[in-house]
Structure 1
Amino acid sequence: MSVSDRVMGRNGTFLSPIFLNHIQNLRARAGKVAIRVGGNSQEQATMIPAWAPLEGPTINKTANPVQVPGFTSSPLLTISEDLIYAMSNISALVGVEWYFGLPFLNEQEIPTIIEDVTSILGTNLLGFQMANEPDIYESHGKKPAPYQIPEYMADWERVRSTYAADRTDLIAPNVCCSWTIDELLTAGFLTQFAPHLHSVSVQHYKDNACANALIPMPPQDAFLTYQTHSSAQNFWNPYVNASQIISAAGKDFIMLETNTASCGGFAGASDSYAAGLYLIDLALQGASIGMSQILLHNGGVGQAYNLFTPPPNNQSTFRQWTTTPPYYSALIMSEVMEEDGSQVMDLLLGGNSTHTPGYAIYKSGTPIKLALFNYITDPSGANDAQFNFPSTQPSVRVKYFSSATGSTADKFNLTWAGQTMGDQFGSDGRLQGEEQTQTVQCNAGTCTVTVKAPQFALVFLDNQDTIDPGLSTQTWATSVATKLGGTAVVDPSILATSNGRGGAQEAFNVGGTSSGSQVYASGAQRQVFLSGALAGVVAMVVGAWAVLAR
């Protein structure tokens, strides 16, 4: 939450067009996008009253006076309604729906925040997260010991009944580390609080990349685990039983925060093509056990697992954001899943192969897509995988997610269906290039799709595209220019035949680059084109986000 205004936009008036473009790509495929504004910094946030004059930034941060050795303390936040108005305006433009974090450790602020967020967001509000990772409150010094499941449940009920008694859209228990969701269910959390819950949620990362990790994992080892199907399966094994219980109770089960590894991930691993493949596999595996939604966490500048990151300083020219492999995962999953719901099955191909897995995606019981992986890196082609399957169609359409050089270590210039988000500091949130969908002919009722090593393929069995053509071409440009001089653009053909100062025959018609001057070349008056700098200084993050599984 602490830097959400930096990625989404400075306030309700100045929104980031690059952020809007990134989200629009997802919306064109998924129909809608869910974003959570929250995290550790939500816990002690204060809302500026509506009657108070707005001075300073939308979010003001001060150092937390409580410092626990070995742990990073989140800043204390004061937020204004302008943050909520920015969220509302984003919804009006790109159809975002929101989860919002409540300050469980500053509970007297809850009624004000609920009132403001509810009145401004309206139907675009999905629910309120109440408590963030309560199972580490005790170890992080946020609650006095003992603070275990019985104390948490009593605390949660006290806060709910006092400050949110009429709410039926709360998100909990949001455990991550020390307690399991099965333990909470056994203790009666769902039975006791079901009438007040929008959904049941957890938070979890496969690996621990925090500086205080008891057993640090080398990034090289983590990188290898992002190239196996078993990693995705093992991640979800602890949630299979809970998923069945929660579904039987009529509630959605949400992974409210995840990514490759906690605390920003591993540089070189969490921002690799391998991580992009792993997160697609993770989302599909989660959907196959009944997860309703999975949200990827997006952190501040310097976080390896970010989906996209603005330049570290002011943006002064176009295409200076960096879009990384996890964004491609969200983009692809937005196209894999149907807007009105899908069913996913792990096909356990090749005897549950850990390197060439596959999934079937169903709509109303009918298979409509196949998701096929090849985790192996082998440019020789010897390990390209061929997937054979029956089909009543004469042909099928295929889209590929490919690395730039054929390596799982690639970070940039990846392509999804032939389109890319560009290089490092090379993105404006719009897909570059023409979309390429391959047509594979079938023979005698059998189709064969080749997936290179490494690569991901999405096969459309019904040959139906899921992209809204109207939404996919709609983008946003900056409306504010901050660099108004020194950005002249010269026609290359004129430059090639000129002699510097307007050509030999125009020795006295000297051109200038100062604002307001005229420019001449080859004796013909030329127009000066100005390129404006994109509005605002942008840095990351929202908190957690992305539509992956529904």
Structure 2
Amino acid sequence: MLRPLVVAAPFLLWAFVGYVHAVTIYGPAGALRPSGTASSSGSGPISTGTLVNTQWIAALNAYNDVKLQAPALPNPMPSTSFAIGVANNAAGMGGLSIPQKGNFFGFSIEMSVVEQVLGLNASFIQIPFLNLLATVADRGGSVRIRIGGNTQETASLVDSLPNNAMIGKDKSVIGGSSRTAQTPTLEYTDELLYLLSNVSSLVNAKWYLGIPFNDTTHLRLQIAEAADSILGDNVLGYQVGNEPDLYASHERRPVDYSPQDYSDEFGVMVNGIHDDKKITRTGNLIAPSLQGTWSPEDLWSTGYLDAYGSSINVLAMEHYPDQNCAAEFPDGGFGPIKNPQDVFPNYLTHTSGQNLVKPYLNTAGIAQQLGKEFMMFETNTASCGGFPGVSDSFASALWAVDYGLQLAYSNFTGALLHVGGQNVSYNPFTPPPTNLSLFEKWTVGPIMYSTLFVAEALGTTNTSRVVDLAANGGNEFTPAYAIYEHDTLSRIALVNFMQEQNGAGSYSATISVGGAAFGESNSVPSQVKVKYLLAPSVSEKEQITWANQTFGGRFQVDGRLSGQEVIQTINCDQSANTCVVPVPGPGAALVFVSNDAQASSDPKASQTYSTTTVTNAIQTLTIEPSVLAHSNGHSGNFPLSGTSKGGANAALRLHSIDHSVVLIFVLLASFLTFVH
């Protein structure tokens, strides 16, 4: 069900007074200059209104300037020239995963930041968000998004909010704990659900939502009632309970809260959902979303799956490899603050992904027996916002490529990368701070590139089976995976966690297909195509490319890839049954064994959207300094000393302005367009 949608409804601004928020004047090199400083002539635009203060921006973790030193090369070094043998047919390979889909990686978006990330309401959608989703959906067939997190637990659907707001905060009710943040609870209207529906009408996006679980004596099921009606098949399921094994430590339940207590409360919710006639889908719950304090087996032993299995569609876990909570909450009892440089090497090893999946292998088998999906429902580099310099470095992209493929190999059916606000460093994508949204574009985190790599690695046939090749003697710095579609080899993924130093660190993999070892004939093709995920260093934050294309640097992203796509062609030696594929250090290579494999992974042509929208009826003007010399340039006794809306002297005594200046402003303003 859709509400009227306006992605961009331009109109001409014929009146200047009351609409101009800031003025842009020309100065050297386009650098930003604080308001009130002297102007000079030149070619670069400089804003004198709402400005980027680099010190203030760097204080936000999403834009931190921490850049770490690349770890030293391993000692001893692994072989940098090694062979990889793979069967051409799946029957010749052992240990293949269940069939996987290209939409394996999706996003988990904290409910409290929906307005900043998705849009203000159902009629104003963030265009970069649409474009970013399209890059994933075009490669994986669709994109899965969860709206929730800790803030879903106390959120309430209400009929209306002041000023027709979509989301508000009830400051009379405070959530959180004494160890972490004390935050007001959220209230939202069904406008949020119409917003999600309108996004789905533009991009093939599907949604997971959360039912509040903070009070099972007074169930609040309105989100499921409304979403079933508004979103229909675009809602995939409802999460019940977010990290219940942390309820006691977060002071949301008694200190002795146990797996049995959660199981009993979950039963109350299941009964309430089945008794609610407004909820039309009763078997699509997502649970238990454990964080790791309890093992899955702790909960299974209560009879949880026997009792509620028919109501659960997705068995879910939430896990981060580390936490940076002491830095975020110094008084929370989390111990000493961790040094990002010290933990940096932990993200540059195949062992990380292997250790992350190990506690869940038994449950992956149980999920298959029950015919359930099994998802890592929330994950990223580190909880409590990640590590500056790690979570926003190229290392995070390589880590996520390896982790995503390791999850797929281990029979998870999907993973959602978490998206928070301005003060986290692990975001796949971040809108500019609100007071810069008129001037700046978005920022993409390196980990976003991993979603493209994994989507193309798995393709769109929904038949991809993954196997960890234990390449190079199982070396932790040079992992490799083979992907089979329709039981035939289609792609090989190669990762190089090493940073090249003094000419060492890159490697070459010699790939053989079929042969006597697999009871097959030699099957190497005459050539293979290769796409590379590259950056100058593992610590690089912005200069990252996927097949030579990039989203852009900080405050430069509109959600679309730019640059000419470059796909390398490597000729193979069919007589020797070998293809030699170089992998730079650092970097990752996706090898397409056949043209059909590449064709099924190539992004499909889709509509993208221009980013000419702003968040309110305010705009900037670009004016030559000489024009300002007799206006607001603090020259003589001219009465107008500021143009920023709300400023002490803004728009005062306009009748005194020289008529030529007014004419210039009106003529320039008449060419501006806005979204209403």
Same fold (TM over 0.5): yes
Q: Is the 8 A contact 1:199 1:251 kept in 2?
A: yes
Residue 410 of structure 1: which of 518, 540, 547 is its match?
A: 540
Task: Map 1:288-307; keep pairs closer than 5 Å.
Answer: 288-307=409-428
Matched residue, 2:406: 285
Residue 380 of structure 1 deviates from its aligned partner by 3.9
Residue 305 of structure 2: which of 186, 190, 199 is its match?
A: 190
Matched residue, 2:179: 70
| Distance of 2:323 and 2:375 partners within structure 1 | 21
Task: Map 1:35-46; keep pairs closer than 5 Å.
Answer: 35-46=145-156
| Distance of 2:451 and 2:409 partners within structure 1 | 17
After alignment, is 211-220 or 189-198 more displaced? 211-220
| Distance of 1:109 and 1:74 partners within structure 2 | 21
Matched residue, 1:158: 268
Tell me which amino acid in the other structure corresponds to 2:550: T
Q: Is the 8 A contact 2:127 2:610 kept in 1?
A: yes
> Which whole-Å deviations, capped at 9, do the CAs of 1:190-240 have from their partners, x for residues lacking one?
222110011100101000111242464321122111111111111111111
Larger Rg: 2
Residue 452 of structure 1: which of 580, 584, 598 is its match?
A: 584
Matched residue, 2:54: none
Distance 1:309 1:31, change over 3 A: same
After alignment, is 353-362 or 217-226 more displaced? 217-226
Residue 89 of structure 1: which of 178, 198, 201 is its match?
A: 198
Q: Is the 8 A contact 2:313 2:373 kept in 1?
A: yes
Distance 1:54 1:183, change over 3 A: same
2:161 matches 1:26: no
2:166 matches 1:58: yes
Tell me which amino acid in the other structure corresponds to 2:562: Q
Task: Map 1:103-502; keep pairs closer than 5 Å.
Answer: 103-107=212-216, 108=218, 110-165=220-275, 167-211=282-326, 212=332, 213-214=334-335, 216-315=337-436, 320-339=441-460, 340-391=462-513, 392-403=524-535, 406-444=536-574, 445-463=577-595, 464-465=598-599, 466-471=601-606, 474-479=608-613, 482-484=617-619, 486-487=621-622
Matched residue, 2:125: 15
Tell me which amino acid in the other structure corresponds to 2:362: N
Residue 245 of structure 1 deviates from its aligned partner by 1.3
| Distance of 1:249 and 1:468 partners within structure 2 | 34
Gaps of 5+ in 2: 1-110, 276-280, 327-331, 514-523, 625-659
Residue 514 of structure 1: which of 640, 644, 664 is its match?
A: 664
Tell me which amino acid in the other structure corresponds to 1:457: A
TM-score by length of 2: 0.71
Residue 120 of structure 1 deviates from its aligned partner by 0.5
Distance 1:133 1:32, change over 3 A: same
| Distance of 2:566 and 2:512 partners within structure 1 | 24
| Distance of 1:316 and 1:97 partners within structure 2 | 27
Tell me which amino acid in the other structure corresponds to 1:386: S
Distance 1:12 1:47, change over 3 A: same
Tell me which amino acid in the other structure corresponds to 2:123: T
Q: Secondary structure at the match of 1:268?
A: coil
TM-score by length of 1: 0.86
Matched residue, 1:499: none
After alignment, is 479-488 or 337-346 more displaced? 479-488
Tell me which amino acid in the other structure corresponds to 1:401: L
After alignment, is 58-67 or 390-399 more displaced? 58-67
Tell me which amino acid in the other structure corresponds to 2:181: T
Q: Is the 8 A contact 1:309 1:323 kept in 2?
A: yes
> Which whole-Å deviations, capped at 9, do the CAs of 1:502-537 have from their partners, x for residues lacking one?
xxxxxxxx999823438xxxxxxxxx995657x69x
Q: Is the 8 A contact 2:530 2:568 kept in 1?
A: yes
| Distance of 1:277 and 1:230 partners within structure 2 | 13
Distance 1:6 1:317, change over 3 A: closer
Residue 167 of structure 1 deviates from its aligned partner by 1.1
| Distance of 1:148 and 1:87 partners within structure 2 | 35
What fraction of aligned residue pairs are identical, expressed as a percent?
37
> Which whole-Å deviations, capped at 9, do the CAs of 1:229-256 have from their partners, x for residues lacking one?
1111111111111111111111110110
Distance 1:438 1:20, change over 3 A: same
| Distance of 1:513 and 1:328 partners within structure 2 | 48
Residue 62 of structure 1 deviates from its aligned partner by 2.9
Distance 1:361 1:160, change over 3 A: same
Q: Is the 8 A contact 1:24 1:475 kept in 2?
A: no
Q: Is the 8 A contact 2:147 2:210 kept in 1?
A: yes
Matched residue, 1:525: none
Matched residue, 1:496: none
After alignment, is 199-208 or 338-347 more displaced? 338-347
Matched residue, 2:39: none
Residue 382 of structure 1 deviates from its aligned partner by 2.4
Q: Secondary structure at the match of 1:3?
A: helix
| Distance of 2:563 and 2:387 partners within structure 1 | 30
| Distance of 1:68 and 1:136 partners within structure 2 | 11
Tell me which amino acid in the other structure corresponds to 2:579: C
| Distance of 1:48 and 1:202 partners within structure 2 | 29
Q: Which has the higher contact order (CA 8 A, sep 6+)?
A: 2
Distance 1:32 1:54, change over 3 A: farther
Distance 1:67 1:91, change over 3 A: closer
